[in-house]
Amino acid sequence: MRVLTPVPLTREAFATFGEVIDIEGARQIPINQGLTTRFHDLLTLDCDAEGGHPVVSVFRTDPLHLPHTVSVMERHPLGSQAFIPMDAEPFLVLVAPAGDNVNAEDLLLFRTRGGQGVNFARGTWHHFQIVTGRRRDFIVLDRAGPGNNLEECTLTGEAIIPEEAASPH
Amino acid sequence: MRVLTPVPLTREAFATFGEVIDIEGARQIPINQGLTTRFHDLLTLDCDAEGGHPVVSVFRTDPLHLPHTVSVMERHPLGSQAFIPMDAEPFLVLVAPAGDNVNAEDLLLFRTRGGQGVNFARGTWHHFQIVTGRRRDFIVLDRAGPGNNLEECTLTGEAIIPEEAASPH
Residues 6+ apart with CB under 8 A from B51: B145, B146, B147
Chain B residues with CB under 8 Å of A38 CB are: 57-59, 140
Residue B162: which of B48, B51, B68, B28 has the closest Cα?
Answer: B68
Question: What mean pLDDT comes out for the span B135-158?
Answer: 97
Strand pairing partners for B130? B92
Question: What pLDDT score was predicted for residue B8?
Answer: 97
| pLDDT confidence tier of residue B169, bands split at 50, 70 and 90 | low
Residues 6+ apart with CB under 8 A from B82: A56, B19, B21, B43, B45, B117, B118, B119, B120, B139, B140, B141, B142
Cβ atoms of A139 and A81 within 8 Å: the answer is no
Cβ atoms of A136 and A86 within 8 Å: the answer is yes
Q: DSSP class of residue A28? A: E
Chain segment B3-46, per-residue pLDDT in tens: 999 999 999 999 999 999 999 999 999 999 999 999 999 999 99
Q: To 10 degrees, the CA torsion angle through A166, B34, B87, B142?
A: 110
Out of B32, B39, B57, whose CB is closest to A42? B57
Chain segment B56-100, per-residue pLDDT in tens: 999 999 999 999 999 999 999 999 999 999 999 999 999 999 999
Chain B residues with CB under 8 Å of A64 CB are: 35
B58 touches chain A (CB under 8 A): yes
**Residue A36: pLDDT over 80:** yes
Chain A residues with CB under 8 Å of B76 CB are: none
How many CB atoms sit inside 10 A of residue B43's CB? 21
Rounded Cα distance between B117 and B139, Å, is: 10
User: What's the structural domain count of chain A?
Assistant: 1
Rounded Cα distance between A115 and A84, Å, is: 8
Rounded Cα distance between B79 and B75, Å, is: 9
Output the domain CATH number for residue A83: 2.60.120.480
Asked if A62 and B23 come within 8 Å (Cβ–Cβ), the reply is no
Question: What pLDDT score was predicted for residue B167?
Answer: 81
Domain that holds residue B20: 2-166
The mean of the pLDDT values for chain A is 97
ipTM above threshold 0.90:
yes
Question: What pLDDT score was predicted for residue A167?
Answer: 81
Rounded Cα distance between B45 and A48, Å, is: 13
Q: DSSP class of residue A108? A: E
B59-118 residues touching A, CB cutoff 8 A: 59-64, 82, 84, 86-87
A128 touches chain B (CB under 8 A): yes
Strand pairing partners for A74? A126, A152
CA B32: distance to chain centroid? 32
Minimum Cα–Cα distance from A38: chain B residue = B59
Asked if B54 and A54 come within 8 Å (Cβ–Cβ), the reply is yes
Asked if A139 and B57 come within 8 Å (Cβ–Cβ), the reply is no
Percent of chain A residues past pLDDT 70, beyond the cut: 99
Out of B21, B61, B139, whose CB is closest to A35? B61
Q: Select the residue from A23, A35, A42, A140 to test the B interface by mutation, using most B Cβ atoms within 10 A.
A: A35
